[in-house]
Structures are given as structure tokens and as C-alpha cells.
Amino acid sequence: METRIYNRHDVKNNLSQIRKEYSRRSLSREAVVEDPLKQLQQWLDESIRSEVMEPTAMTLATVSKQGRPSARTVLLKEITKAGVVFYTNYHSRKAQQLTIRPFAALVIFWPELERQVRLEGRVEKVAPEKSDKYFRSRPYSSQLGAWVSNQSEVIPNRSYLEKKMEKLSERFKQHSMHRPSHWGGYQLFPDRLEFWQGRRSRLHDRIEYLKEAKGWLIRRLSP
């Protein structure tokens, strides 16, 4: 891959000149499998084997009741036969927006592989038993963090969190920790996915899957 290197002062004053030429791989219609979630699993497995930084990081975009979009990073925790699963606080801003408008978009970007996957679809909470099972698999500190943080709530300072952490830590020394009811999983059921492979001259490869009654329509898009 060709990479142009710039003087720091030049970059600061001329962001339009920052670019890379993508040339690692190509992507054709013949190269992808018929099931997009299996294709996603293949790409995820390859990203993990390649030791890319944060291979499960996804940008999640939701929409408020006023139609304002917002986005943040969440972690992919499972690819099922029907969709992808992530976990969060059910009182968070994203969760509130998903309650009002249960549709979302996800973007996974692996810059080291010059690849991106986009997913769009309906979102539903996973079964409580599934959330319980995943919660039990988390490290103790992460379990405790789910109890401590009322995600997206305004707090006075950092020490507020630390004191709450200490208090709850003492509490759970006496009692076993279970999943808080305000924390759990969501599954996005995609009806549209796009696999993007960077190519030279910005003529990138884009393969789109559209869900239809009889299965998936697969087609190539212009870059």
C-alpha cells in the first residue's frame, strides 16, 4: 500500500492533502458467500487473525424522536444466524432512542485491512437469559461497572463514580453479583449490508446484500 507522508505543519494547515492509496485486496461478487452474516463472520475472523486494533468495534447510529441522528462506538459480541448482538445500559441515550425508533445502522471499519462493513435494520432486546449468560462471562470489574454507571446521566465529578464503585464493591463482597435489570443486550436484524474493500484511485469495491422474501439479493455498487 502506498502511503504519502507529510510535514506536520503542512498537515495542520492542509487536511485535504491527507490520503492513502488502497491496494491490499479486491472484492468481487463471485468471492462472497450467499449469506451476508457468514460473510461478516469470515471478515471478522480474518481481522482477529490479522491482529487489527479493536476488531469488534462498531459505530452504532440511532435516531431521536425529532429525527436527529447520533452515533457512538459499541462492541460486537456475537454474530447469530439472524443478526449481530451488542450490550449496553437500557437507560442510556442510545437505548432511549431505540425504544422510540427501533431501527439502527452499524459500521465496522478495519483500516489495517482496508475494509468496511455497513449494516442497517430493526433492533430488539435479546432474551433476559441471554443477557444473564453474557453478564456472567464478563470480568468482575466490568460486571461492577455495569452497576456503577447510569450511562449518559449527568454526574458532578469523577470522585462520584469512584465512591459509588467502592460502596457497591463492599456490597457485593457480601452478596453474589447478578445482572442489573437496566443492562443487557440488543440484536440488530439487518435487511441491508454492504461489504467495502478499498481500491486504488478511489474505485473501491462495494458488494451490497438486500433482504427479500425469497432470500438475499446481491449486487455490486459503484464506488
Which active-site residues does the annotation give? 202
**Residue 186 near residue 86 (C-beta atoms within 8 A):** yes
Can you tell me the distance from the alpha carbon of 145 to that of 88, in angstroms, rounded to the nearest whole number?
A: 11
Q: Using CA atoms in the order 93, 84, 82, 114, what is the torsion angle rounded to 10 degrees? A: 130
Can you tell me the distance from the alpha carbon of 110 to that of 47, in angstroms, rounded to the nearest whole number?
A: 7
Nearest to 33 by CA among 46, 22, 25, 43: 43
Collapsed DSSP state (helix, strand, coil) of residue 192: strand
Q: DSSP letters of 49-73?
A: HTT-SSTTEEEEEEE-TTS-EEEEE
Torsions phi, psi of 106, nearest 5? -125, 145
**Residue 30 near residue 218 (C-beta atoms within 8 A):** no
